[in-house]
Amino acid sequence: MSKGKQIAISFVSGLIFAIGLVLGGMTQPSKVVGFLDFFGGAWDPSLAFVMGGAILFHAPAYFLFVRRHPNPGRFSLPTKSEITLPLVGGSVLFGIGWGLGGFCPGPGLASIPTFGVEALTFVGSMSAGMLLHHVLTRKPAAESQPAKPSPSGAHPTPAD
């Protein structure tokens, strides 16, 4: 598949995802905070239906198209299964950000066109955090390893 087609498919997929987030209410911080407020008396379970609908679609699609595909190496799937400190730390930061701001990365990015102060503050803070992580975890050039092609040739993976 040509690079142009890959970009077009990625763009359309992202657009459909963003529209789904908007229609599902995931870009409304008050709705998200209401969903996360289990004990405050104002719990709003509607986002559970949004997430449930996504799972109901994704689970069979994953089984049919990825697990049963004749060439499963064609898909870039994570191979790590251990629970590490960075994984737990990132999960905690994600939860804190979602609970305090009412945004997670997808809905935050989908909210940029509204030019809302909350969305722009969240995305700016998220971008600064990503840049800080990149700077703090960057390996010197001598330690970094060249990428090797994946089995499918689609995306390079770090050398073993």
Q: Please state the domain extents for the chain.
A: 3-70+84-137
Q: What is the mean pLDDT of residues 85-113?
A: 86
**Residue 34 is which amino acid?**
G
Per-residue pLDDT band for 135 (boundaries 50, 70, 90) equals very high
pLDDT of residue 41: 78
Distance CA 38, CA 110 (A): 26
63-77 per-residue burial string, b: 16 or more CB within 10 A, e: under 16: eeeeeeeeeeeeeee
Q: Name, in order, each residue with C-beta under 8 angstroms of 154's C-beta and a sequence gap of 6 or more.
A: 74, 76
Distance CA 86, CA 108 (A): 22
Whole-number mean pLDDT of the chain? 81
pLDDT of residue 78: 78
Q: What is the mean pLDDT of residues 33-60?
A: 85
Q: What is the mean pLDDT of residues 103-113?
A: 85
- Using DSSP's 3-state secondary structure scheme, residue 27 falls into coil
More confident residue, 15 or 66: 15
Q: Is residue 157's pLDDT more than 80?
A: no
Q: Is residue 120's pLDDT more than 60?
A: yes
Per-residue pLDDT band for 17 (boundaries 50, 70, 90) equals confident
Q: Is residue 153's pLDDT more than 90?
A: no
pLDDT of residue 160: 42
If residue 90 lies in a helix (H) or strand (E), which one and from where to where? helix 85-101
Percent of the chain whose predicted confidence (pLDDT) is above 90: 14
Quote the strand ranges of the chain, DSSP E.
147-149, 156-158
pLDDT of residue 146: 59
Tell me the pLDDT tens digit for each residue of 75-95: 777 788 899 998 999 899 888
Phi-psi sector, 102: left (phi>0), alpha (psi -120 to 50), beta: left
Question: Exposed (0-12), middle (13-18) or buried (19+): which is 148, by Cβ within 10 Å?
Answer: exposed
